[in-house]
Structure 1
Amino acid sequence: MKLRNTANRQASAAMGGFSDDEYVSVGEVPLPRADNFKRVSMLPLVFIIFYEVSGGPFGVEDAVGAAGPLLALLGFLVFPFIWSIPEALLTAEMGTMFPENGGYVVWVSAALGPYWGFQQGWMKWLSGVIDNALYPVLFLDYLKSAIPALEGGLPRVLAVIALTVVLTYMNYRGLTIVGWVAVLLGIFSLLPFVVMGLVAIPKLEPSRWFEVNLQDVDWNLYLNTLFWNLNYWDSISTLAGEVDNPKRTLPKALFYALILVVLGYFFPLLTGTGAVSVNRGLWTDGYFSDIAKIIGGVWLRWWVQGAAAMSNMGMFVAEMSSDSFQLLGMAERGMLPEFFGKRSRHGTPLIGIIFSASGVLLLSWLSFQEIVAAENFLYCFGMILEFIAFVWLRIKHPNASRPYKIPVGTVGAILMCIPPTILICAVLALSTLKVFLISMVAVVIGLVMQPCLRYVEKKRWIKFSISSDLQDLHANNQNNNVSLLD
């Protein structure tokens, strides 16, 4: 893989090159290119998005525990309009505008420069790794009622390590395998809730859906649960370079996945809160397996527990794919050392996978609520940068090529970002002091890390390179021959 020549060096630096020195070649042996591997088609892409965002209703129980049935049901109906739909639309437009690995890092770099692009990459990667640390926790929480030894101690530690190793190996074997595994796991994970809904029909009492006590609402837990279960639509953008015809496939896949996610949350909640007398103290992660036993018996409980295990496997591999390909995309833009851009013989980002898996193991000791709160805090910072980049590119470069464009003008684009921004402020304001301090330390690390990497590159202690296969963003607006980043 050759690097951009001297004439293109200035354009490359705008996207993340840290040095004015002439780049050197990567090596004698070319790295495997994405074109040499099978790309992800529509159906697997839908389920990869489904697992990056949701994976089914596992983990939504805290919304009922925090606020009761009515607010939980309303939350999963109203929240998508405030957050999920705007984020999915933004991802469709920006992801087709920049159809390459790196996704939102490239968007922010194009609009605000490489420094803020790196901050975006750091915060979103870290929030993704924190998010991925949830899935071994959820997996074991659903199994501990059947296998008490997994509740704590050495057996739980060994189970987390074993699960992480197995799922990491699946990521290593290839994205197309991840995609079709996601399809199979998705069907298996949702099917028991369809059965549970049918079995529960004679037991439904609609009056239970309207139970609410506004004086007894844990707003922090409620908003964090909704936010965690309905965000991460932009994660698929970091895989755009691996998608078959992303300019057409990505918007459609986001639309189908949005419908699947909302239905996958709402109807199990409708069934669980309507068929069983609500004791809010019991509604915590893993409680759906108990509801299944009450409604259908032990056989249904085991099915839900198995589905939860499979769902967490799907979420883990999908999130790790997004995180690792983001690091690969950043390396291809010169934001990270060259070795992050190397692919395995299966086309997967080997170093990115190793780094992401290591982060999961280091963070898996945290509790479910702590992980959700810390992950949401960092994710909020990243989303603010995405909204700014989206609006800025609409204002400064309205005629740039956008294969999919949200059918609103500049004013409409600004208005679309206002409700989710208000929600971000609410999530940040309700964070605990512990989560705030941990998150701010993480932010400061990113602010310092980018100049340090730039210094390392200038001293030539570690190789950095920019792929010549990437689109020259200065020539993005082909129709009008206007430079995107002038």
Structure 2
Amino acid sequence: MAIAAVISFDTVGQIATGGGEAVTWTAALALFFLIPYALLFAETGAAFPQEGGPYVWVKLALGRPAAALTTLFYWVTNPIWLGGSLVFLAAETWDGFVFHLGSGTVADYVFKLLFVWAAILTAVVSLSRGKWITTVGALVKVLSLGLFTLTATLYGIEHGFHGLTEAHFSPTAAGFLALVPILLFAYVGFEAPNAAGEEMHDPQKDVPAALGRSATVAAACYLLPVLALLAVVPVKQVTGIGGFMEGARLVFDVYGPAAGPLLTATAVMFVFALLTQGSAWMIVSDRMQAMAAADGGFFTRKLGAFHPKLGTPVRTNLLSGAVATLFMLTAMQLADGDAGAVFAVVLTVAVTTLLLSYLVVVPALVLLRLRRPEVERPYRVPFGDRGFLACAGLVYAWILVGSWSALFPGVLEGVFGIEYDFMDAWGVSRLSFESFTLGTVALLLVVGTIGVRVARRESAPA
């Protein structure tokens, strides 16, 4: 589940647009963000394995209203992501490598709607069945990335690694500010399976072990394909929406006549992996949101009802599908249908809402560590409280920088005197960008505040 959720196929190409230094920063964040982040959530997830994960942790530390608002931002990231970058990348891949859809056509809309609701239905079925779909998706994802990396290596041996001559691996401040939000988004999410903690056999034992394995796999699945892509494709030709598959189109030439069928098969696997990636997040985040509602923290408890036979929060699942559909239809109007521009902007919206939720979740972990010392902790961060606080401080600093850079791109660049062309970077004006991103955040705050107040009235004694 963690591998299916965390390894984001849609971010591989976007990361690679940063050039050679993307590899450097990917490795740096693996060491200085991913490891302390995994340590924090391994300890907390094993100590507090209740269904709902981060919702429960924030509630215990800061109260139900804070937990409800935090969970809203965490949850809504996923229908936004599903109806945003995932569905746009899937449609672009299907259009270019499997079957022509066109842009803004009936076929394009039908494909995107089917993609969104197939992911939702995977979350609706019981976890005992749905988990196998996401497990197959995780295997397909790792297989696809492994095949691409191997093929790119073979292509480089035959034709030369010309991309490396243009890739500059020295880190820069501009590269850091551009890459840190997307890299943080790529690495977070290992706490996601805790949302179904009570459906694990032994969460106190399973959580730390799963975190260690999946973090290692995730770091490798970002570093190796990005390096392989940059080694054979000139940096200027790498795009966020087409990076991985366009790279595959080039390197699969080594297979001769079999290249076409292999490329089509890879595209189908790619789309399936994207779909199950969305499914995995729907499975865990919908449970969190349902727990918030069932606990009396968000609108009505009816929203948090779990189906008696399926054991899934069907009403929340359907709400996610409606939000994803609405966001997809809205995003289709952005930038006059320019898929590349839409992809980058809607991915940033998902990055923003998720990172903002961690600004509350991480302090909650610290408070639980300090206020609840009596709770059994099967796994502990090394060096006691000092080690835990050091990890939390480092992770929080990364999240702060990433959140600001995602919400207000170009501002920190201006502070440090770095040249920044907004239209060139995003393909839309700053006004359009900020209206979409800040408008989404503002709308969520309004909805969240109303949801908390309605829940209070419902819970108040008559």
Same fold (TM over 0.5): yes
The answer to whether 1:314 aligns with 2:276 is yes
Of 205, 211, 219, 2:161 maps to 205
* Cα distance change, pair 213–270 in 1 and its aligned pair in 2 (3 A): closer
TM-score, normalising length: structure 2: 0.82
* Cα distance change, pair 209–251 in 1 and its aligned pair in 2 (3 A): farther
The answer to whether 1:412 aligns with 2:415 is no
**Cα distance in 1, alignment partners of residues 376 and 129 from structure 2:** 32
**1:62-73 → structure 2 map (5 Å cutoff):** 62-65=14-17, 67-68=18-19, 70-73=20-23
**Cα distance in 1, alignment partners of residues 173 and 214 from structure 2:** 34
Question: What is the count of residue pairs matched by the alignment?
Answer: 409
Of 323, 335, 359, 1:359 maps to 323
**Cα distance in 1, alignment partners of residues 362 and 293 from structure 2:** 24
Of 343, 367, 371, 2:307 maps to 343
Contact 2:181 2:403 in 1 (8 A): no
Deviations 1:110-160 (A, max 9, x none): 111112111221221122322232322221121221334243232221111
Contact 2:44 2:365 in 1 (8 A): yes
**Cα distance in 1, alignment partners of residues 10 and 69 from structure 2:** 31
The answer to whether 1:105 aligns with 2:55 is yes
* Cα distance change, pair 196–395 in 1 and its aligned pair in 2 (3 A): closer
Q: Which runs of 5+ in 2 are unaligned?
A: 254-259, 332-341, 409-433
Contact 2:61 2:367 in 1 (8 A): yes
Deviations 1:68-100 (A, max 9, x none): 1x2111122121233322332222222222222
* Cα distance change, pair 232–428 in 1 and its aligned pair in 2 (3 A): same
Match of 2:5 in 1: 52
**Cα distance in 1, alignment partners of residues 378 and 196 from structure 2:** 17
* Letter aligned with residue 438 of structure 2: F
Offset at 1:230? 1.5
**Cα distance in 2, alignment partners of residues 218 and 150 from structure 1:** 34
**Cα distance in 2, alignment partners of residues 212 and 411 from structure 1:** 34
**Cα distance in 2, alignment partners of residues 352 and 168 from structure 1:** 10
- Further displaced range: 407-416 or 207-216: 207-216
Offset at 1:217? 4.7
Match of 1:190 in 2: 142
**Cα distance in 2, alignment partners of residues 163 and 360 from structure 1:** 11
Deviations 1:197-238 (A, max 9, x none): 333331452844842587895655422321222122222221
Contact 1:60 1:226 in 2 (8 A): no
The answer to whether 1:136 aligns with 2:100 is no
The percent identity for this pair of structures is 17
**1:72-91 → structure 2 map (5 Å cutoff):** 72-91=22-41
**Cα distance in 1, alignment partners of residues 189 and 172 from structure 2:** 31
* Letter aligned with residue 3 of structure 2: F
Deviations 1:381-412 (A, max 9, x none): 21121111111122222232222222232222
**1:376-391 → structure 2 map (5 Å cutoff):** 376-391=351-366
* Cα distance change, pair 223–144 in 1 and its aligned pair in 2 (3 A): farther
Offset at 1:109? 0.8
**Cα distance in 1, alignment partners of residues 144 and 388 from structure 2:** 40
Of 267, 270, 273, 1:305 maps to 267
SS in 2 for 1:401: coil
* Cα distance change, pair 157–215 in 1 and its aligned pair in 2 (3 A): same
Q: Which runs of 5+ in 1 are unaligned?
A: 1-47, 461-486
**Cα distance in 2, alignment partners of residues 177 and 71 from structure 1:** 41
RMSD: 2.4
Match of 1:453 in 2: 455
* Letter aligned with residue 283 of structure 1: T
- Further displaced range: 355-364 or 396-405: 396-405
- Further displaced range: 362-371 or 207-216: 207-216
SS in 2 for 1:59: helix
**Cα distance in 1, alignment partners of residues 77 and 161 from structure 2:** 39
The answer to whether 1:280 aligns with 2:232 is no
| Larger Rg, first or second structure (1 or 2) | 1
TM-score, normalising length: structure 1: 0.78
**Cα distance in 1, alignment partners of residues 39 and 104 from structure 2:** 42
SS in 1 for 2:245: helix
**1:382-401 → structure 2 map (5 Å cutoff):** 382-401=357-376
